[in-house]
Every structure is written in structure tokens, then in C-alpha cells.
Chain A
Amino acid sequence: MTVRLVCIMSQLQPQNQLQQTSEPPLNVQELQFWLDKAAAWGQADSPDTRKDTCLHLSRLKDYLQLLLTHMNNMSSTTERMKTLPLLGQFLGRLCWNPYVTADATGRRLLLQCLWGLYSEHPGNALERKANQWIRKVLCQLATEEDDDAAALALMKRMGVSPKEYHLKVLKMMVALLQENIGKSCRSLVDLNQRCSCDNIRATSEACVPLVTCPEAALLIGALLQQPMTCVRAALSQDFLDALSSAYSSQCISLEEQAVVSLWYHNLSSLEDAVLSLLECVLTNTGSTPQELKQQLAQSLLPKACAQHCSIFLVANDIFRSFLKQTEGNESVKYLIQTFSSCFLRELARLQHKTSGSWKALFPQSPQSLLVPLLTRPSEMPREAWKHHLNWLSGSLQTLTEEEEEGDGDGSRSTRLEGHHKVFEAWFLLIQCAHWVQVAVWLLVTSDPEDCGPLLWLLTFYHHPTNRGHHRASQLVHAKEAWDHLHSLYSVSSCPLPVDRLQSLVTLLSPQPERPSLSPLFILNLLVNFAVFFQQSLSGSAEILQTVVNRSGLVNEAACVLRSLELRLNEDSCLSSDTNRVHLRINALQNTLTHMHAASDPAGNQAHAHINAQNQTAVSSSSTPPGSLQNDK
């Protein structure tokens, strides 16, 4: 799994492609091995031979692929038969093995090998014979009806064709087997009776070649979803592996609950699913927050995590590794936030008791922070938010201070423990980013004296480690940014104070020499001020435009606005007057789009003159009709 993680990360930071390894050489003894196997399977039809076939099916398919590759490298059937004299016998035997022919990949590879032996223009007797043999075998496979002669004759009288008949019988078999699965141990009246759960294992094994067979889908679903209370009712591992690889290569579709069951029983299929999601989301950087939410919902992972604690623990673990290895990459953080929000919503929908199960879901997080962070803002009266956040900020601060003390004089293990606690607290904070957003919102309406804890919390969120002891200066910059924003927005007259604007822009543009505060932090604050501060729309828009344009962060600002809008749609507790807020956000979004179209996207101070002209043009056209011109 770590290899795959590395691959996904390398897509975030492009690297050179790995060289493709060349195929292994052909080993004639291996062909003898497989021929002997095929012969043994064909000779007797006992539970042991069936088990052996299912056990070897996957490797057999790999071998057929290898054979095919080598066959394609040769130029004629004569050459192929000369290099691999046992080939004809081998393929011939496999044709009559229903496990190979029922499996989609097995059938495909076998047929491709047969075509490989066919010569368009046969040059000698051997090739002519091979051609004839291939035609004969294929004709027999598709049309021979020895086993069912009496049945088919009868069916013909009833007006049922052979193909239809085979299909009906298959469906009937599937239905009968499904019925059997429904009867679990628990329905037995007499406990001395042998339960029929052994059938389940045998049935799952028989389904190994049938994972891609559409008629077997219901049976497979039933196998996955049966209660499995009995020890004997375990599903075959080969079955789970086959199902998992077919599902991840998108050859089959399963019902939602069947997928969840699959993940529950098969760790590697779950890991596969989470890694595929990560890969997909992180390489598709253009999607909107709404699209991301849809993608997450479609993946079924949030639902699955809500149903089974063990699934959540695995998924969370993968996210944790990822976060660590990408060192807090913003897209990863955003994904984790969105995922958690979907997950928590699914959990609430399932109406689980909250307090009891939090510990099971987040065993590594500092326990004292669990309930405070996981309680949603909507579950608390608005007046209590400030106090709550102050408490959270204080607790986190204490944790970081303990870590730093430990760094100084403690043993290695205490140091690691300290780092671990802080990391886990930060990880939990990311997952409960609803509180981070409330902190930003509160900052808009705070007094200067009350900002401290909130700014600390946000600084910690964006910069969890105090590397080089930069936190102190980061906090200073955070306060500066807040001061600038507060005064800019409090001013009700034009023109805007240039020095404040300039200082803000400087803070937003990272300089290599000094340790800087995350621009995203400041941008988020800026956007929230623009939306929520009691200032006229045109005034707010102008400030937003100017700052964003000069620092070249138009796209990022638009993104922040979209996320804010999405969050308001879900959690309308942030504002008492959601309609007004939505209209305001829309207006600001329009401003940004017009600006983006009108000006150079790179936007820098050299174009300030042009921008100033554009701004006046844009601000007069950006206010919507019937107006919020004078809104308070």
C-alpha cells in the first residue's frame, strides 16, 4: 500500500516515470506443470479438484497472459507449436474446464490463445490441422448439447430455444442457492442439527469464476450480506480477492450494501477503494466543492464508514498517513475535511449514540478534545460558541506547550509521545473544521481584545508545528492582518487607506526571507470579512477586489467563496438571515468573475493603474438590480 501512496503523491509533485520491467522468459517446465494440473482437474470432479481449481485460477490466468505475450512475439503457428509442443493439448483441456470458461478473463485469454494458433493462410499440414481443430472446438463449445439432449428436445416442443433454456436454468440455480443462504444457523430449532453454513463457504468458492457473470450478481450479493454469525459461514478468501479485483477494475457493479460488506470482509479491497478515491480526487484539481462532495458520496465510503467502525478506522489511518507524508498539503486537508463532514452526516443519519462510540472511532485522538470538537456548532447555542472556542484554543495551546517542554529535557519516547498528541489533535481539528470556520466568522465580529485565542487557533490550524519557533511571529502577523482588515472594513469612505491595503497585500504575498503566515489563512479571513462585516456591498466588494487583484489570488478567493456558500447551504446556523448572505456571496462572486475576465490573471502592481480604472467600471455594474446598495 505504501508503494501506491508514493505513486499518488508523485502525481501531486510530478516526477519521472518508472521504467517498465520486461516480461519474464518462457519456461517450458511451467507449461508441463499447468498441463498436469489441467489434466487432473478434468479427470475427476470432486470437491477437492474444484477447490484446487479455484485456488489456482488467478495464477492460471496470469500464466495464460504470459503465454499469450510470448505467442504474439512469434511469427507463425509452426513456430509456436515447435517452441511449445504441449500448447495444443493444454489449451484443449482448458476449453473443457468450466471454471476457466465461466470466468470472463479466463475465457478471453483462452480464446485469444486459440486465435493465436489460427493461421489466416496455412502454410503446411500442421497449420491446416490446427485451423480445423480450432473451428471444431469452438463449434462444440457453443453448440454441443449432449448433456441436455432430452431436455432440449422437450424444450423445443415448448418453443424454448437452447440459449434461453440455459439462461433460465442458470437463473433457477442462482435462485435456489440464494434461498439456501438465507437459512442461517439461527433459524434451526434443534441445536443438534447440523447447520447448513458449510454450503456458504463452498458456494462462495464456486462463485470465484462467476464474479463477472451478471446472472450470479444476486447470489454474490446474498453471500456478502448474510449475517455470518456462524464460524462455518466464512467466505472463501479467493472469492473475496476475485471480487475485489473485479470491482476495482470496474468490471462489475455491486449493490451498495454488497460493496460495504465486501470492504468489511476484505481489507485489501477497502484499501484499494480509499486509495482510488485519493488518486481520483487529488489528480482532478479542477472540481468544485459541490463536485467533490458528490464524488465522495458516490464512492460509498462515507456511508460504509458510518456503518462499520472498523472501516472508518482503516480509511482514517490511510488519510492520516497521507497527511503526514504530504506534510499538510492543502488539497489533502480539504479532502479530509469534506470527507469527515460527509461521514459525520451519515453517522447522524444512522442515529448512533454519539458519546459512547466516539472513543472507538477516534482511539488515537486526545480524549478530552473528542466531544468538544465533534459536537457540531448547530448543536450548541450561538452565544456559547465564543466560550467554547476559547476553551478549545486553550486546550490546544496547553498541548503544544507540553510538547515543547518535553522537547527540551524529556526522553525520546516522551518527546515522540508529545509530537504524537499534537499531531492527533491537529488531525482531529482538520476533521472538525466546522469549528475552524466558526472561529473565522467570530473574528469578523470580535473586538480587538477578544481575538487572541481565535487567532491562535487558526494559526495552529494552518501551522501545527512550531518549527524554528516561528509561531510567535506568525501570531504577530495574524494580529496585524486582522487589524488591517478591521480598519479597512470599518472605514465607510472612499478612497481606501492605501497603507493598510498595501500592508495586507504584502502579508498575502509570501516572501522567502521571513517566515510567513499561510496566505490561505488571511484570504479566508478577508473573504469572511467581505461577506459578514456590516458594511455596504459595494464597499466590501471594492476592498475584496483590490486586495485579491493585487496579490494575484483571484481564483483562490473564488474557491473560498464557493466553499463558504456550500457550507451555508448545509449548516445555516452561521447566519440568521441566510437569504441576504447568499445574495451577498453571489454578488461578490460576480465581482470576482468580471474582474478575472477583465484583468490579467497574474495581476501585479505594475497594472494597478489599469486595475483602478477597471474597478470603477466593474463596481458600478456589479450591484444587482433592486438593490442591496444600502444594506447594513
Chain B
Amino acid sequence: MEAVLKNLSSTAELLAVASQSGAVAQWDKQTLSRAFHWARYCEHISSRFHNNSAIKGIMEKQLQFTNQSLRAAFPGYTDISFSDLSCCQHLLLVGLLKNPELPISIMKILFDTTSPVNNQQSDYQDVTGFCSHIIQCKSARKVLSPLTDLSAVGADVEVQGAMLMERLAALLSQESEACRTEHFLDSVLQGGEGAAGHFCLVIAAALLTTKISAAQTASQGFLLDWLQKKHSVLQLMCSALPTTLLIDLAKGHLQFRAAYCDVLKKWASDMEYSMSEGEWVQPSTNRTVSFKRLTEHFLALFESCPSLREDVENDLNALNISDGDFDVKGLSVWGDLLSALNK
């Protein structure tokens, strides 16, 4: 364990030197290869222990300690944390390329185009052409994306959905308490600007994965349970995602279908009739959906799940009756909804 911690510190120091120090001017191909080898090692450590909170904590402490001394040594230093370790090679690369002291010969090695691509995940990966391969990959994506943009969920979101499922499966297989997995999902939500919106799309992709194993079915179940408790996320999903996706989700998961209906009904119940606009509207503090849009949601749902229609209409009817069962527009959102749906 001590050796591992020492290695982590050394790699953090290496990253600092790579990005901040003029010492890179002395680097040759061997030094470069070794540096990337160490970065790969850290990536490996990260994936090995990210589910083990005890060890992860120890490593985090070690890194903080190292950060302190590095901050003192290098004025422009940015701290690294355990979560950064999964992208260690990328950090190293960015640091190196931004370092004006990096010899051009080293850059030429990184951007070399002659060697064949080595896709193996072995420890003896050649660092030659590292950047060339990245460029090829990114460019190939751009070339192919006009052809694949036609589906509702793009290849990129599908991959992210698949990764989410993998991560959930790993967490669920290890944890005896579900709360750690929940915490994980919660933390992703708080990722930053626009993170929640993006995450909704990824969740949809994860739930729509069709070729799944038993482990993945469990992951999907867990995700749905978590969603059930997160009303804000559900609402965000229902307002931001395209209707086709929502319908696919409703068709694929009864739990989602029920939750979806609930969200729609909640939206309706929050609506008030506005005299000036002559229409039912949501309170001004939270306008995400119009009455028309709400109706469209219901209609789409009925079209794809015909069995639902009767139950929902019965519910709406009951609610309308409790509102007085008037036949006049503008008095009960339920009555107006029913008329709109049956037009």
C-alpha cells in the first residue's frame, strides 16, 4: 500500500513537472514513454479502487498532502484529486503540449503518423503517434456523424448510457447498501452547469438499452427506483426530452410510464386559468410546459399505449367530478383536458 501511495505522489509530481517546469526540455523518447507508463498506472489504480471508499480516502489524503508541497514549488499549480486520476494520460498530455519548453522532437514523436495503431491495452504501448491516433479518432467521428445523427439518441449518448449502466452494475455488485450507489447518482446530478439536463438524456439512453444482461436489468431497475424519488429530475426529463424518447421509455418500462403520467397530472394540477391569455398556464415562476404541449404529451402516450387511455380518462373524470363537474371552459383543468383529448 505504501508503495502505491508513493507512486501516486511521484506521478502527481511528474504531472507538475510536465506542465510547469523547464525540465521537460531534457526529455527524450524514453522519458516520455516512462511518463505515460506512470500515467497509465494511475489510471489503473483509479479504476481498481474507485469503488473502495476506504482506500480511496487514503489515496485522496495522500494526494492532498502532495498537492500542498507542489503548490509551494510551482506557482501555477492546479491540485489533482482522486477523480482526476482516471484521465491521467490526458492531463499529462495537456500539460506537456501547453508547456512552451517541450522540445519539438518530443512533439514530433507524439504526432508521428507512420507507426501502425496499437489498440492493445498492454503496458508496453508505444507512445509514438499517441496524438495522431486521437486526431484520427476525433476526425473519423466528425466524418461519420452526419450519417448517424438521424436517430433520436446519438452514438455518443448511447456510449455514455452504456458506461452508466456498467458503472451502476459494478457498484451494485459490490455494495451491500444501496445508498452509496444513490449517492453516486446524486453527485453526478450536481456535476455543474447543464449537467442535470445532459444527464437526463444519458439516463434515457441507459433505460432504452435493449441488449442487456441480467446485471443490467438490475441496474435499470435501480435507476428507475432512484428516478421515482427524484421528482425534479423526472420533471426535467419530461420537459426537455423529445416526445419520441419519452414514449419509447413509457413503452419499455411500466414504472416509467406510471411516473410519466404522474408528472403530467402534477403539471395539470399546478395550472391556473389565465383570463388575459385565455388559456391554462403554469405558475409564472416555473413555466416549462404549455397546456397545448401537455395535451400533446397525453395524446402521444395514448397512441402508443392504448390500454392506458381508459384508466387515465377515468382518473381525469374523477378529478373533474371532484371539481364540480361543470361543463364550462376555464373552471376545471381536468374538464378542459378531457375535452381537448377527446376532440
A contact residues vs B (CB 8 Å cutoff) = 45, 47, 50, 98-99, 101-102, 104, 107-108, 111, 115, 118, 120, 135, 138-139, 141-143, 148, 150-151, 153-163, 165-170, 172-174, 176-177, 199, 202-203, 206, 209-210, 213-216
> B47 in the interface, Cβ–Cβ < 8 Å?
yes
Contact of A169 with B155 in the complex, beta carbons under 8 Å: yes
Contact of A115 with B108 in the complex, beta carbons under 8 Å: yes
The answer, among A154, A161, A167, A216, for a CB contact under 8 Å with B90, is A161
Contact of A143 with B97 in the complex, beta carbons under 8 Å: yes
List the B side residues contacting A111 at CB < 8 Å: 111, 113, 132
Q: Output the residue of B87, B136, B145, B163 with the most chain A CB within 10 A.
A: B136
List the A side residues contacting B90 at CB < 8 Å: 143, 161-163
Task: State in angstroms the CA–CA spacing of A122 and B47 once bound together.
Answer: 44
Which stretch (B186-194, B233-241, B266-274) binds chain A?
A: B186-194
> B339 in the interface, Cβ–Cβ < 8 Å?
no
Task: State in angstroms the CA–CA spacing of A153 and B163 once bound together.
Answer: 13
Contact of A172 with B143 in the complex, beta carbons under 8 Å: no
12 A-B pairs with C-beta separation under 8 A = A111-B113, A111-B132, A151-B157, A153-B192, A158-B163, A158-B164, A159-B167, A161-B88, A162-B87, A166-B138, A206-B146, A213-B136
From residue 153 to 174 of chain B, which have CB atoms closer than 8 A to chain A? 155-160, 162-164, 166-167
Contact of A170 with B160 in the complex, beta carbons under 8 Å: no
Q: With A135-B107, A159-B46, A206-B143 in contact, do A154 and B199 touch (Cβ < 8 Å)?
A: yes
Task: State in angstroms the CA–CA spacing of A98 and B136 once bound together.
Answer: 8
Task: State in angstroms the CA–CA spacing of A163 and B145 once bound together.
Answer: 18
Looking at the assembled complex, report how far the CB atom of A247 sits from the nearest CB atom of chain B, in whole angstroms. 15
The answer, among A159, A170, A203, for a CB contact under 8 Å with B86, is A159
Contact of B135 with A107 in the complex, beta carbons under 8 Å: yes
The answer, among A107, A143, A162, A172, for a CB contact under 8 Å with B159, is A172
> B144 in the interface, Cβ–Cβ < 8 Å?
yes
Contact of B113 with A104 in the complex, beta carbons under 8 Å: yes
Chain A residue at minimal CB-CB distance from B144: A173
Q: With A156-B83, A161-B86 in contact, do A203 and B167 touch (Cβ < 8 Å)?
A: no
List the B side residues contacting A118 at CB < 8 Å: 104
Chain B residue at minimal CB-CB distance from A100: B139
Contact of B195 with A153 in the complex, beta carbons under 8 Å: yes
Contact of B136 with A161 in the complex, beta carbons under 8 Å: no
Q: With A101-B139, A176-B148 in contact, do A169 and B156 touch (Cβ < 8 Å)?
A: yes
Chain A residue at minimal CB-CB distance from B198: A150
Contact of A135 with B143 in the complex, beta carbons under 8 Å: no
> B289 in the interface, Cβ–Cβ < 8 Å?
no
Q: Output the residue of B110, B133, B199 with the most chain A CB within 10 A.
A: B133
Contact of B155 with A176 in the complex, beta carbons under 8 Å: yes
Looking at the assembled complex, report how far the CB atom of A143 sits from the nearest CB atom of chain B, in whole angstroms. 5
List the B side residues contacting A101 at CB < 8 Å: 135-136, 139
Ranked nearest first, the 3 interchain pairs of A and B with the lowest CB-CB distance are A102-B139, A98-B142, A108-B113
Count how many chain B residues have C-beta atoms less than 8 Å from C-beta atoms of the other chain: 64
Known: A107-B135, A157-B191. 13 other contacts (CB 8 A): A99-B143, A108-B114, A138-B97, A138-B111, A142-B97, A154-B160, A157-B83, A161-B87, A163-B90, A173-B141, A177-B147, A199-B147, A209-B140
Task: State in angstroms the CA–CA spacing of A199 and B149 once bound together.
Answer: 12
List the A side residues contacting B199 at CB < 8 Å: 154
List the B side residues contacting A138 at CB < 8 Å: 97, 107, 111, 131
From residue 91 to 119 of chain B, which have CB atoms closer than 8 A to chain A? 93-94, 97-98, 100, 104, 107-108, 110-111, 113-114, 117, 119
Contact of B50 with A159 in the complex, beta carbons under 8 Å: yes
Q: With A151-B198, A157-B191 in contact, do A209 and B134 touch (Cβ < 8 Å)?
A: no
Contact of B195 with A154 in the complex, beta carbons under 8 Å: yes
List the A side residues contacting B107 at CB < 8 Å: 135, 138
Looking at the assembled complex, report how far the CB atom of B7 sits from the nearest CB atom of chain A, in whole angstroms. 18
List the A side residues contacting B305 at CB < 8 Å: none
List the A side residues contacting B195 at CB < 8 Å: 150, 153-154
Chain A residue at minimal CB-CB distance from B117: A214
Contact of A107 with B113 in the complex, beta carbons under 8 Å: yes
CB < 8 Å A-B pair total: 165
The answer, among B143, B147, B151, B167, for a CB contact under 8 Å with A209, is B143
Looking at the assembled complex, report how far the CB atom of B184 sits from the nearest CB atom of chain A, in whole angstroms. 8
Task: State in angstroms the CA–CA spacing of A114 and B87 once bound together.
Answer: 28
Contact of B140 with A210 in the complex, beta carbons under 8 Å: yes
Task: State in angstroms the CA–CA spacing of A210 and B145 once bound together.
Answer: 13
Looking at the assembled complex, report how far the CB atom of A181 sits from the nearest CB atom of chain B, in whole angstroms. 11
Contact of A107 with B155 in the complex, beta carbons under 8 Å: no
Q: With A169-B155, A170-B141 in contact, do A160 and B104 touch (Cβ < 8 Å)?
A: no
Q: With A101-B139, A115-B108, A120-B104 in contact, do A143 and B94 touch (Cβ < 8 Å)?
A: yes
Task: State in angstroms the CA–CA spacing of A102 and B144 once bound together.
Answer: 11
Looking at the assembled complex, report how far the CB atom of A119 sits from the nearest CB atom of chain B, in whole angstroms. 9
List the A side residues contacting B89 at CB < 8 Å: 161, 163
Contact of A169 with B141 in the complex, beta carbons under 8 Å: yes
Chain A residue at minimal CB-CB distance from B131: A142
Q: Output the residue of A45, A148, A151, A177 with the most chain B CB within 10 A.
A: A151
Contact of B191 with A153 in the complex, beta carbons under 8 Å: yes
Task: State in angstroms the CA–CA spacing of A118 and B160 once bound together.
Answer: 39
Task: State in angstroms the CA–CA spacing of A162 and B84 once bound together.
Answer: 12
Chain B residue at minimal CB-CB distance from A251: B116
Task: State in angstroms the CA–CA spacing of A131 and B50 once bound together.
Answer: 41
Chain B residue at minimal CB-CB distance from A132: B100
List the B side residues contacting A151 at CB < 8 Å: 156-157, 160, 198
> B202 in the interface, Cβ–Cβ < 8 Å?
yes
Q: With A135-B100, A138-B111, A165-B159 in contact, do A154 and B83 touch (Cβ < 8 Å)?
A: no
List the A side residues contacting B113 at CB < 8 Å: 104, 107-108, 111
Task: State in angstroms the CA–CA spacing of A160 and B202 once bound together.
Answer: 15
The answer, among B98, B135, B187, for a CB contact under 8 Å with A141, is B135
List the B side residues contacting A202 at CB < 8 Å: 147
Task: State in angstroms the CA–CA spacing of A153 and B83 once bound together.
Answer: 11
Task: State in angstroms the CA–CA spacing of A202 and B146 once bound together.
Answer: 10
Q: With A143-B90, A166-B134 in contact, do A102 and B97 touch (Cβ < 8 Å)?
A: no
> B137 in the interface, Cβ–Cβ < 8 Å?
yes
Per-residue interface assignment for chain B, residues 117 to 134, with 1 indicating a CB less than 8 Å from any chain A CB and 0 otherwise = 101000000000001111
List the A side residues contacting B86 at CB < 8 Å: 156, 159-161
Chain A residue at minimal CB-CB distance from B103: A120
Task: State in angstroms the CA–CA spacing of A165 and B163 once bound together.
Answer: 10
Chain A residue at minimal CB-CB distance from B108: A115
List the B side residues contacting A199 at CB < 8 Å: 147
List the B side residues contacting A148 at CB < 8 Å: 156
Contact of B111 with A150 in the complex, beta carbons under 8 Å: no
Contact of A203 with B147 in the complex, beta carbons under 8 Å: yes
Contact of B137 with A170 in the complex, beta carbons under 8 Å: yes
Q: With A153-B192, A214-B117 in contact, do A142 and B135 touch (Cβ < 8 Å)?
A: yes
List the A side residues contacting B151 at CB < 8 Å: 176
List the A side residues contacting B47 at CB < 8 Å: 159
Contact of A150 with B194 in the complex, beta carbons under 8 Å: yes
List the B side residues contacting A115 at CB < 8 Å: 104, 108
Chain A residue at minimal CB-CB distance from B192: A153
List the A side residues contacting B98 at CB < 8 Å: 139
The answer, among B93, B104, B140, B187, for a CB contact under 8 Å with A143, is B93
> B43 in the interface, Cβ–Cβ < 8 Å?
yes
The answer, among A157, A168, A172, for a CB contact under 8 Å with B188, is A157
Task: State in angstroms the CA–CA spacing of A199 and B83 once bound together.
Answer: 41
Looking at the assembled complex, report how far the CB atom of B287 sits from the nearest CB atom of chain A, in whole angstroms. 24
Looking at the assembled complex, report how far the CB atom of A136 sits from the nearest CB atom of chain B, in whole angstroms. 9
Looking at the assembled complex, report how far the CB atom of A309 sits from the nearest CB atom of chain B, in whole angstroms. 34
Contact of B191 with A173 in the complex, beta carbons under 8 Å: no
List the B side residues contacting A161 at CB < 8 Å: 43, 86-90
